[in-house]
A and B are shown apart, each in its own frame.
Chain A
Amino acid sequence: GNSVTQMEGPVTLSEEAFLTINCTYTATGYPSLFWYVQYPGEGLQLLLKATKADDKGSNKGFEATYRKETTSFHLEKGSVQVSDSAVYFCALSRTDSWGKLQFGAGTQVVVTP
Chain B
Amino acid sequence: EADIYQTPRYLVIGTGKKITLECSQTMGHDKMYWYQQDPGMELHLIHYSYGVNSTEKGDLSSESTVSRIRTEHFPLTLESARPSHTSQYLCASSKAGTSAGELFFGEGSRLTVL
Co-assembled chains A and B: no
